[in-house]
Every structure is written in C-alpha cells, then in structure tokens.
C-alpha cells in the first residue's frame, strides 16, 4: 500500500561536503585554464603595483554612484561641448586627404624657409612691385594655389556637415506638413 | 468582402495559384523580365535593389504607414509596397526626388522616435528604425524628436508600450486585428499625437488583450517590448533610470551625426551576441507545433522570438508559448531522484535510484513475468523518447503493455480515420484549413485549445470570405464568430452528421464521381443512413430542422470543406463512431485529397501524434505496423536482436483495471499526470496504491508521482534535443536551449540508463542516432533524418526515403490495397444515463492561458495574476434559479466523487449546462467527478458524459476571475490599421506630393 506522499527530505550536503565540492570545481577550472590564469595573475600584479586595482576597487565598489556622477558631469553643457568638439575634430581630420595635402605642406614649408631667411626686412613692396612679381613664376604659382584654395573653401558643404545644431537652411521643414 | 493578401499570396477559391504572366519592366534604365502578381517592393527586394521600408513585414503585407519605400513608377511617386507591378512599368529608385521623398518619410518617423540605440534593449541588430537610418545614411534629424503626452504603459505583466518610441507604423495593430484576430489594438488617428490604444482606450492590463505577443513580435523597434528584455538585453540598459536619462541626453547632445552613434551601437549590439543565446525550439503547449527562437542569458529567458519561416505558426504564438516558460526555473523542479522511505521521499543519487529500479524490475519479472509490467509514455516527450520507451517495454522487459495519453483524447479520431481513409492523421496542413471555403468545427474550443491554428480560421473568415459552422454545447469564441452555430444535445453529434450526410445524398449533392472512383461500400453506407431523417435528427439533437438544412446547403455550396474536431467528439461512449461519421461526410462530398479539404482531428499535446507514430501503443509498432504481424515482428527482432511479445498489450484503461485485478504489479510512467487527467481519479489513485513498484519520471513532484516508489527527475523540452510531430504530421527539431537543471536528465538518457542496467547495451549518444534507427525500420518515415530537419526545416509524413514528404494526403488515392477509401456505417450510442438527481451537465476542457492541471502555467506569475484559479461557468438562468452569484462556492457531486469550486456567471453556457476548466489539481479537479465509462472502441474515457448535482456551500465569495482577465475586455474590430484616417488628417501631405510641389516652387 503506497499512499500518496508529498514530503521530501532533501539531500543536505554538510558544510564540509559543500566546501569540498566547490573546491573541486574551482580546481578543475584552474587546471583547465592554467595558461590564461597565470598570465592574468601577472597582469593583475602589474596593475596592483601601479595602484590601479585599488582605484578600480573603489570605482566598482560604488559603481552606481560613480557612474551617476560621471554621467551627470558629462551632461554639463561645457563638457558635452568638449566631447562634441572632439568628435567633430576627429571626424574632420579623418576627411582630410593627406595625399593631396603633402605637396601643399611641402610648399608651405618652403615658403616658411624662405621667409626665415629674411626675418625682419625693412624693404617695402609697392603696388607695382606686386604686379611685377606676378611675373615671377614661383610667386605666380603660389597665388594660383591660394586662389584655388579660396574657391574650394567657398563651395557648398552643408550636405557634408556632421554637426546637427540648427538644421541646414535647405532642409528646414515646415512643422505643419510633417506631424504623424 | 474583397480578397486580401496573406504574406505574398492571395487566396483563390480552391487553392489553385493563378499562373502569373511574364512581364517586362524597366528598373533604373535596365529592362528586366519578371512575373506579374507582385508588388514593386517585392520585385525590388528579390532583385536586391535596396529600397528603404519600415512598416512592411512579409507576414503582414503592405501597411502603407511609413512612406519610406516611395519610388517613381511611370513618373508618379508611389509607395512601392502597395503598388502592383504591371507590364511596361518604368521604375526609378535613385532619382533625387525619390530620395527626397523617402527622407521626408523617415524624418517623420524620427520625429516620433527617440534614438538612443546604445542604451536601448532593442539594439540587437534587428531594429528597423536603426537599420533604415543607417541604410539611408541619414545624419540629421530635420524635425527634432518631440516627446508625446502619454507615459509608458507598464500595466501588463508581459510587455509594455512606450508611446515616445512608437513610430505609428501600425504593424502591431495589423497583427492584432488581422493575424491574431483578437481585435484589441487600434491607432487613434484623431488625436494631436496619435498612439496605439487598447480597446476603447484603457490600460493594457484591463483590455481584451489575450497576451499572445504578436504585437511585441512584429514591432520594428522598442515601442512594444517584452518585459523579459527590459534592462537585460544590453550591457548598459540595466542602469538606474535616473542615470539612464542623462546618458540618453549626452548621447543625443554629443552626436555629430547619426553615423558615429550608430557605429557605437552596432558594436554594442555585436557584443550582445556573446552572452545572448538564440536557440530554436518547438512549443509543448498544444499540438499546433509552433516553433520559435528562445533568447536566453544563462538560464534566464529574455524573450521568445517567432520567425517568419516557422512552418506551422510563422510569427504567431499564444500566451503560453510566448510567455509561459517560467516553470523551467521553478524552485519546485526535481533535481535529484527521490526514493520512498516511510511516509516521505528522500533525495538520492542516480546510482542508488537506478540500482533499486533494476533490483525491483528483475524481481518482479522473475516472479510475475513481463506482463506484470505496464509502461506509460508521454505525449510531451520527443519521438525518440517514445521510440525508446516502446523498445524498453518490448525489447528489454518483453511486454506490449504500453500506451500514451492520446488514449485520453484522440485515439477515437485515429480509429475513425483508420476505418475510412487509412491514415491516422490530419489530412492536410494548417494552410489547407486556412484556404478552405468552409470550416466546420465540431466539439472543439479551437481558439483556446489550439490558439494559433484558430487564428488562421479567424483571419480567413474575417478577410477572405471563408464560411464557418460551429457545433458545440458552449458559445465560445469560434461560435461567436461563426456564420452558423448549432448546439446539439450532449453526445448527439453523430446524429446530425449522419442526417446531414443523408440529406446531401438525397438531394443529389453527393460527389458521385469521387465516390465511384475512390470510395468503397457506398450502397451499404447509404442503407445505414436510413434512420437518419431530418425529423429524427431534430428530435434527438434539439437542433432546428432549418439549421440542419442550412448546414447541408453550406456544405453543398462550398468548393472545399475541412472539418476540425477535438474532445467534444472523442470523449464519449461513441467517440470513434462520431469521428467515423465526420470522415464519411467528407467522403460523400468529395472533400479529401484536394487543397483546402479534409479531416483534422486537432491533436491536443505537442507530441500526441508522435507518441503513437513511434509505437507507444499496445498493439502497434512504430509507423502503426501491427504487432500481430509476424513479418513486422521479425523485422524488429532482427534489428534489436531479441524476441518480441506477439500479443497486443493493455491500454491505459486496461492497465488500471489490471492493477485492481492484481495482474499488473509494476508501472513505469514518464511525463504524464495520469493521476489527474485520467477519468474517475479516485479509482485510479486506489490502483496506484496497490502497485508493488511504481516509477514516475517527471519534472515536478506531480500528483501521480506522490504515489511512486521512485521518482526520477526529467528535463523539459528546453533542456534537450529531439523531434516532435505536430497535428499536421510535421516533424520538427528542437534544440537544447539550456543545460538540464541540477541532476535532472533528458528522458531518453534515463530510459537508456534503465535499459542498460537491465542488460540492453544501448549506446546512443544523441537523439539523432535514435531517429536514424527508427527511420530505418519504419516505412512511414523512412526519409526522416536530422539533417533534413535542420533549423526550421520540417517534414510531414509519409516521408519517402529520398526525403519527399506529404503535406497533403490522399492526392494519389488511399492507403488500402485497392487505393480506395471506404464508407464505414456507424450507429448512435446513447450517452451515459444518470439518476434524475444528477441534473447538471458538467462540460469540461481547456482554458487559453493554462495547460491542463496547471503545474507549468501556474508557475508564471503573469498568467496566475490574470487567471489565478479554475472556476465553474454557470448560465445566468441557472444562477437566477439557484441564487448563485459570482464567487459563490458550490459542491458538485457525481456518483464517483465531488468537487468544490467557485462560480462565474456567463452566457457562454446556457441552461443547466456548466463548464469546469480542467486547470486544478486539488478540490476542483474535474476528474473527481468523471466516470470510468469509455469509448466502446478505444477505451478513451467519456469525460464529456458527466452529470452532477449542485449544492451551495457559501453564498458570498470573491469573483474567481479577476477584472484584469481578458474575458472582460471590449474588443474593437476593424480591418487593419485604417491608414486612410492618417491620410485624411489636415496635417498630412504625401511626401511624393510635397517633393513635387517644392520642385515646382524652385524650378
């Protein structure tokens, strides 16, 4: 006669057995990952020597608080502006084609070199001297270069713009034709 | 009603696809040939020409809300998603005005959606907003995002809605209205800032929402999101709310364009793949066979993610499949074997438990012989586990005393089909049900018992003009939606079915050609119908004669008919006969072997079909080959190297009787709560007490397990590999989502361990090897193997050796020697008669949100919050007569036992018929009332023939069904999202028109 029963006596491990089981598990893991663990220990040691571990300890120990302070600090206008400027600068730098820039930089360098030969000259350049010097092939080449730079600078670049403050004029939309 | 698209297909009458003509179109200056019958967007997507689109979803079709897929067709700017392709079309996808119009569409979306991808839980690579911004290389937001007036709706236990993230694409509404067809969601286009609303604008949790999860599945962004994902999916999404807000602000303030922000969020999204695992599995809550990906982080389930390519369900799920998996991590799970010791169990190690089983099995076998054993296999376990269970019973112990729980539900249906058409499974696929012109539902509460399958009927009925006849005692959802609802007296379905068939034949409406070529015994059958006149049927069933005639006319008028049935038919004294009568009717009208036709007994459990297919039956080997056939036995004896018992064994019902008689001494039962779900459970429990040795294998200490000598901890579906076969005869693979909990093990490993201790020497390392063995031995699924079932691939039996499967049966005749089906004359068996004092008819069955006795679904806090316990549905008439209110506690007593349960008054039931859902394992368990009477042909208990008397125990009580249950909701049916209302707004201008206007102004 096997009556229905509900009671279960759990297989309780003693503290000692639990500890032994846990240790076995850890031991297995250690052996399995020997290389990685030894190397990590070295890294940790270096970090410890430089005080990074205690720094991290403080940060993670108070994780939510630290993150909150960080985020709130970062959210101040001057700081967001810094981050933004950095991102913008990075983006712009990334767009410059160094191959194109190289010859120009060489020319600028030559110009500076030439300038430094006569740092503080008392010589005056008159209007006619200027016109005359256009005939000088070196000066003429420089002027042409500067003019083409100015032309490029005057080009329409709004479509390439990354900054979103204030929509570019040609994309401004009337609110009323775009609600839902 | 107009015909509408479903996915890419339009439904056309008898299911033929119109042959599409070849047409020539020009795309961006290049001529190409293609087929008509598709939209411009479909063509472009298939030709890998990228056109942005956000609201379009392959399972929902064009919704036309997002305006991002605009292209130029013959000089007109149009939405490519809804523009049908025509011969000679000139399509431009790259012109500036096209791009400008698309950008306007996207800008309007971004005005409604705050981009903070890196700290968004939906940043998992599939966010349509994110991906479209990236694809369109949008760097600026022309109209800045503006917060909306409504707060997040967090009221529902399983998902939440954030209006600030909602882009108003309407996918959720489309899914709720026209795929799930619960009709809860709409978009209120009238308000200044439109939003999704539930019912007539109530909090989600107080609406008619059935928690099916369609809305969160199809949402393209994080507006409608599963709560399991919140704060869990991302690395930085679990941060305190107060910190998160400034973080979102920083992200937005420092952005120098979306490009760099999206790059960072893409990195974060990629990192998530490291710790979020996505595994395909197959649901275990009914026989529909929904498959989906489960997202897990360790043992934590983040969400269930249905996939378009899932063969049975696509994007659909019900509340249990989508949200009901908490039980796998329940603290009540068994994690160690239990051994009975005095008046308690004690946990033991596997070795000790297996040693004990081996010793006892050997003792009993020696003393009482192999037929003193009984084996109960599970319809929740895999095909491979069913195969091993029968191999253990037959090949190791040496008995055919083996059965599974389809004995409690669908064996009569299988019998009816074997008699008439030769295959014991659904005649076609869910697709056939979907495309049929007329669906007849008999004794099936489809929308609660097979929720996803019912959505296909509800959709076709709502949109495609499909007709629906429902025959049931109770006015459930399908009845409410039907074109004709007939309510026969309990147990009389066979009478009206036969009368309608006779009427059809008499009117000359039978498909004589089909019968002549494909069916035997017509004359004999016609004679057997003699008695079934319309007058006789009206008298016996109580259905009005005109309704019976209407039924016959509707069948006659339909070019294709399917019949769905379930327990309302089978769980009667004449369950097999009524199933046979259904099949006879379909044969007489030629409704077999064509798309959109056939018989569909809806299988109740995920693997009811497979448990029997793989031989867990007392008289059949895998593939339904008879154990009495010597050739069959020889085949297995050769393969297994052991002699097999030749006489059919005992079925479930006979096993219980056998225990009472003292011939059955031991039982090994896995994954079956027989102590609750068998009928007349007092009698079953007494049997358990008499067993010499009882082994139960389960994931919980079930009521049945309480009687066991040894309880073995098994693993549920999420913790193992294997295959299930759904109601469509479809094999689908499930993959292990997580490791077994504690020391629990997959059932196949446990069965193998027991077999091997008894000397079997099995060496299966993976369920795939078990399938390989079974397929080699079984003609019915000769071509089934794991490679052919990889991922979402599936096969419907019969499967030939080369892998050709059979989605639709009987297209080349019937599996009888002459290839013909046969009519099978049947007679009405009067239901069980009760003394006059038992005046209440106790109907019983499932509820949508719980599974059986509920030991899985009650573990879900959300489900339990909305449906905490079972209840007794009482008609308003009966309530008035007896002075019963919502919450009144009553006792129902039958000659076999009694239940105590609280009442709920509803007009789903009428008169003296009450409905008791089976979701209780205590005082309200229905099978305390049911008898041991059973179907005369298969021994399936006559659960539905239960009567009782009722007394009031306590007049006042709390309503057992909380007001947050969906049954109190107030659905708002409409077709789709009603985009016309958006277009009618004063502030709406089609982007195409806007672009053209601007061009005129500037040009």
pLDDT band at A145, cuts 50/70/90?
confident
Residues in Cβ contact with B634 at an 8 Å cutoff, skipping those fewer than 6 apart: none
Residue A5: closest CA among chain B residues belongs to which residue?
B706
pLDDT band at B468, cuts 50/70/90?
very high
Nearest-CA distance B250 → chain A (Å): 5
Domain match, B388 and B244 both: no
- The pLDDT of B423-439, averaged and rounded, is 96
Q: Hey, is the C-beta of A95 within 8 angstroms of any chain B C-beta? A: no
Domain match, B597 and B622 both: no
- DSSP-derived 3-state class of residue B739: coil
B168/A180 touch (CB, cutoff 8 Å), yes or no: yes
Domain match, B356 and B269 both: no
Q: Hey, is the C-beta of B263 within 8 angstroms of any chain A C-beta? A: no
- The pLDDT of B333-350, averaged and rounded, is 96
pLDDT of res. B20? 56
pLDDT band at B3, cuts 50/70/90?
very low
CB-side neighbour CA atoms (13 Å) of B67: 28
CB contact residues (below 8 A), chain B span 680-719, against chain A: 685, 688-691, 694, 701, 703, 706-709
Residue B628 within any structural domain of the chain: yes
Q: Which site among B108, B118, B173, B253 would you substitute to test the A interface, given the most A Cβ atoms closer than 10 Å to its Cβ?
A: B253
Residue B828 within any structural domain of the chain: no
Q: Which helix (H) or strand (E) holds B291?
A: strand B291-297
Domain C-terminal end among B790, B821, B852: B821
Residue B503 CA to chain centroid, in angstroms? 35
Residue B35 within any structural domain of the chain: yes
pLDDT digits (tens, 9 = 90+) for B689-724: 999 999 999 999 999 999 999 999 999 999 999 999
Question: Can you give the CATH number for the domain in which B493 is found?
Answer: 3.40.228.10
B907 pLDDT exceeds 60? yes
Among the partner residues B242, B255, B341, nearest to A164 by beta-carbon distance = B255
Dihedral-angle region of residue B638 (phi above 0 means left; psi in -120 to 50 means alpha; beta otherwise): alpha
Q: Hey, is the C-beta of B676 within 8 angstroms of any chain A C-beta? A: no
pLDDT of res. A53? 80
Q: Which site among A17, A66, A71 would you substitute to test the B interface, given the most B Cβ atoms closer than 10 Å to its Cβ?
A: A71
Here the ipTM equals: 0.79
pLDDT band at B390, cuts 50/70/90?
very high
pLDDT digits (tens, 9 = 90+) for B109-128: 999 998 888 888 999 989 99
Backbone phi, then psi, for B360, in 5-degree steps? -65, -45
pLDDT of res. B2? 37
B974 pLDDT exceeds 70? yes
b/e per residue B575-609 (b: at least 16 CB within 10 A): bbbbbbbbbbbbbbbbbbbbbbbbbbbbbbbbbbb
- Give the C-alpha distances (Å, rounded to integers) separating B592 from A144, B411, B576, B764: 88, 21, 19, 40
Domain match, B884 and B754 both: no
Domain match, B863 and B880 both: yes
Backbone phi, then psi, for B431, in 5-degree steps? -55, -35
More confident residue, B895 or B267: B895
Backbone phi, then psi, for B672, in 5-degree steps? -145, 125
Residues in Cβ contact with B553 at an 8 Å cutoff, skipping those fewer than 6 apart: none
Expressed as residue numbers, the domain containing B29 is 22-175+206-274
Domain match, B399 and B454 both: no
CB-side neighbour CA atoms (13 Å) of B36: 11
Cis check for the bond before A110: say yes or no (omega within 30 of 0). no
Among the partner residues B143, B260, B340, nearest to A178 by beta-carbon distance = B143
Question: Can you give the CATH number for the domain in which B164 is found?
Answer: 3.10.20.740
Domain C-terminal end among B794, B821, B848: B821
A2/B691 touch (CB, cutoff 8 Å), yes or no: yes
Domain match, B646 and B680 both: yes
A66 pLDDT exceeds 90? no
Domain match, B257 and B348 both: no
β-bridge pairing B693-698 and B666-670: parallel
B347/A72 touch (CB, cutoff 8 Å), yes or no: no
Counted domains in chain B: 4
Nearest-CA distance A145 → chain B (Å): 31
Domain match, B445 and B569 both: yes
Residue B85 within any structural domain of the chain: yes
pLDDT digits (tens, 9 = 90+) for B682-695: 999 999 999 999 99
Q: Hey, is the C-beta of A164 within 8 angstroms of any chain B C-beta? A: yes
CB contact residues (below 8 A), chain B span 132-151, against chain A: 139-143
Among the partner residues A84, A161, A173, nearest to B143 by beta-carbon distance = A173
Nearest-CA distance A85 → chain B (Å): 8
B667 pLDDT exceeds 60? yes
Residue A159: closest CA among chain B residues belongs to which residue?
B139
Backbone phi, then psi, for B91, in 5-degree steps? -115, 135
Domain match, B351 and B212 both: no
Task: Please give the DSSP secondary-structure letter assigned to residue B237.
Answer: T
Q: Hey, is the C-beta of A160 within 8 angstroms of any chain B C-beta? A: no
**CA–CA gap between residue A62 and residue B366 (Å, rounded):** 69
Residue B10 within any structural domain of the chain: no
Q: Where are the beta strands (DSSP E) in B49-171?
A: 70-73, 76-79, 90-92, 159-161
Residue B257 within any structural domain of the chain: yes
Backbone phi, then psi, for B379, in 5-degree steps? -85, 0
- The pLDDT of B611-626, averaged and rounded, is 95
pLDDT band at B999, cuts 50/70/90?
confident
Among the partner residues A5, A171, A180, nearest to B340 by beta-carbon distance = A5
Task: Please give the angle made by the CA atoms of A42, A46 and A49, to the nearest 5 degrees.
Answer: 135
Domain match, B794 and B859 both: no
Domain match, B265 and B151 both: yes
Residue B315 within any structural domain of the chain: no
Question: Can you give the CATH number for the domain in which B685 is found?
Answer: 3.40.50.740
């Amino acid at each position: 006669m096997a009556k229905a029963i509900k009671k279960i006596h759990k297989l309780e491990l003693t503290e000692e057995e639990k500890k032994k089981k846990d240790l076995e598990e850890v031991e297995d893991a250690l052996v399995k990952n020997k290389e990685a663990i030894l190397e990590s220990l070295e890294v940790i040691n270096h970090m410890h020597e430089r005080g990074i571990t205690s720094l991290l300890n403080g940060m993670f120990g108070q994780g939510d608080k630290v993150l909150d302070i960080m985020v709130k600090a970062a959210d101040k206008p001057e700081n967001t502006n810094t981050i933004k400027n950095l991102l913008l600068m990075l983006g712009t730098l990334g767009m410059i084609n160094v191959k194109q820039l190289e010859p120009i930089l060489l020319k600028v360098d030559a110009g500076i070199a030439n300038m430094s030969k006569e740092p503080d000259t008392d010589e005056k350049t008159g209007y006619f001297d200027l016109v005359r010097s256009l005939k000088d092939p070196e000066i003429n080449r420089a002027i042409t270069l500067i003019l083409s730079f100015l032309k490029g600078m005057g080009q329409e670049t709004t479509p390439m713009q990354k900054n979103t403050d204030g929509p570019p004029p040609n994309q401004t939309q009337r609110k009323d034709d775009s609600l839902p | 009603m107009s015909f509408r698209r479903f996915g890419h297909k339009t439904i056309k009458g008898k299911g033929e696809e119109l042959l599409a003509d070849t047409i020539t179109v020009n795309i961006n200056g290049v001529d190409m040939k293609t087929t008509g019958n598709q939209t411009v967007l479909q063509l472009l997507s298939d030709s890998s020409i990228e056109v942005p689109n956000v609201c379009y979803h392959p399972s929902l079709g064009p919704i036309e809300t997002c305006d991002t897929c605009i292209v130029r067709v013959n000089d007109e700017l149009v939405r490519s998603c809804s523009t049908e392709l025509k011969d000679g079309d000139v399509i431009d996808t790259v012109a500036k005005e096209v791009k400008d119009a698309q950008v306007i569409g996207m800008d309007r979306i971004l005005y409604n959606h705050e981009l903070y991808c890196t700290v968004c839980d939906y940043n998992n690579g599939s966010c349509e907003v994110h991906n479209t911004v990236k694809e369109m290389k949008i760097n600026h937001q022309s109209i800045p995002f503006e917060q909306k007036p409504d707060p997040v709706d967090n009221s529902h236990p399983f998902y939440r809605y954030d209006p600030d993230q909602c882009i108003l694409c309407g996918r959720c509404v489309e899914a709720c209205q026209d795929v799930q067809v619960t009709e809860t969601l709409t978009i209120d286009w009238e308000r200044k800032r439109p939003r999704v609303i539930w019912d007539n604008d109530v909090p989600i949790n107080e609406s008619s929402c059935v928690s099916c999860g369609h809305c969160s599945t199809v949402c393209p962004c994080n507006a409608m999101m599963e709560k399991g994902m919140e704060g869990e999916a991302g690395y930085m999404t679990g941060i305190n709310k107060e910190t998160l807000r400034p973080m979102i602000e920083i992200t937005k303030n420092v952005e120098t364009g979306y490009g760099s922000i999206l790059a960072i969020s893409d990195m974060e999204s990629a990192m998530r793949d490291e710790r979020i695992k996505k595994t395909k599995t197959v649901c275990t809550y009914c026989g529909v066979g929904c498959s989906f990906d489960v997202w897990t982080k360790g043992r934590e389930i983040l969400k269930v993610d249905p996939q378009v390519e899932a063969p049975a369900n696509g994007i659909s799920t019900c509340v249990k499949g989508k949200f009901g998996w908490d039980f796998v991590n329940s603290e009540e799970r068994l994690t160690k074997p239990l051994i009975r010791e005095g008046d308690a169990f004690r946990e033991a190690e596997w070795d000790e438990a297996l040693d004990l089983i081996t010793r006892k099995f050997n003792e009993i076998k020696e003393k009482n012989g192999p037929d003193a054993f009984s084996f109960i296999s599970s319809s929740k376990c895999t095909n491979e586990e069913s195969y091993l269970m029968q191999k253990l019973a037959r090949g190791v112990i040496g008995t055919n005393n083996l059965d599974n729980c389809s004995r409690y539900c669908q064996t009569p249906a299988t019998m009816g089909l074997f008699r008439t058409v030769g295959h014991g499974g659904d005649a076609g696929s869910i697709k056939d049900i979907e495309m049929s012109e007329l669906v007849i539902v008999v004794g099936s509460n489809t929308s609660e018992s097979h929720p996803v399958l019912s959505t296909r009927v509800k959709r076709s009925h709502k949109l495609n003009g499909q007709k629906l006849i429902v025959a049931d005692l109770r006015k459930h959802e399908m009845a409410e939606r039907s074109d004709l609802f007939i309510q026969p007296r309990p147990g009389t379905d066979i009478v009206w079915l036969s009368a309608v068939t006779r009427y059809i034949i008499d009117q000359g409406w039978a498909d004589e050609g089909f019968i002549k070529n494909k069916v035997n015994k017509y004359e004999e059958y016609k004679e057997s119908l003699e008695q079934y006149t319309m007058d006789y049927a009206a008298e016996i069933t109580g259905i009005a004669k005109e309704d019976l005639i209407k039924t016959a006319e509707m069948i006659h008028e339909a070019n294709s008919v399917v019949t769905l049935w379930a327990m309302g038919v089978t769980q009667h004294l004449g369950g097999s006969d009524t199933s046979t009568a259904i099949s006879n009717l379909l044969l007489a009208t030629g409704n077999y072997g064509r798309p959109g036709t056939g018989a569909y007994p809806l299988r109740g459990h995920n693997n009811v079909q497979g448990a029997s297919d793989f031989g867990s039956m007392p008289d059949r080997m895998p593939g339904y080959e008879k154990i009495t056939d010597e050739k069959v036995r020889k085949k297995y004896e050769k393969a297994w190297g052991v002699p097999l018992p030749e006489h059919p064994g005992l079925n479930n019902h006979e096993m219980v009787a056998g225990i009472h008689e003292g011939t059955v001494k031991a039982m090994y039962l896995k994954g079956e709560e027989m102590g609750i779900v068998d009928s007349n459970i007092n009698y079953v429990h007494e049997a358990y007490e008499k067993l010499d040795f009882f082994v139960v294998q389960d994931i919980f200490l079930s009521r049945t397990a309480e009687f066991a000598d040894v309880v073995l901890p098994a693993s549920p579906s999420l913790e193992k590999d294997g295959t299930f076969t759904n109601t469509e005869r479809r094999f689908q693979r499930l993959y292990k989502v997580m490791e077994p909990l504690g020391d629990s093990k997959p059932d196949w490993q446990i069965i193998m361990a027991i077999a091997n201790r008894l000397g079997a020497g099995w060496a299966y390392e993976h369920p795939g090897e078990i399938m390989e063995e079974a397929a080699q031995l079984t003609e019915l699924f000769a071509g089934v193997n794991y490679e052919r079932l990889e991922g979402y691939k599936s096969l419907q039996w019969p499967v030939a050796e080369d892998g050709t499967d059979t989605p639709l049966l009987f297209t080349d005749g019937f599996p009888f020697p002459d290839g013909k089906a046969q009519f099978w004359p049947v007679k009405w068996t009067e239901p069980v008669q009760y003394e006059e004092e038992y005046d209440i008819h106790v109907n019983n069955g499932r509820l949508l949100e719980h599974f059986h006795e509920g030991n899985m679904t009650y573990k879900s806090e959300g489900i339990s919050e909305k449906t905490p316990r079972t209840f007794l549905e009482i008609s308003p008439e009966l309530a008035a007569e007896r002075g019963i209110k919502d919450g009144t506690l009553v006792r129902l007593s039958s000659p076999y036992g009694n239940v105590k349960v609280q009442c709920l008054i509803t007009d789903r039931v009428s008169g003296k018929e009450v409905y008791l859902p089976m979701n209780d394992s205590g005082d309200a368990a229905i099978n305390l009332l049911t008898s041991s009477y059973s179907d005369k042909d298969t021994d399936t208990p006559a659960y539905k023939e239960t009567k009782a008397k009722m007394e009031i125990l306590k007049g006042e009580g709390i309503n057992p069904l909380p007001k947050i249950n969906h049954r109190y909701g107030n659905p708002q049916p409409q077709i789709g999202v009603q985009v016309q209302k958006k277009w009618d707004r004063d502030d709406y201008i089609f982007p195409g028109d806007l672009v053209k206007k601007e061009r005129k102004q500037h040009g």
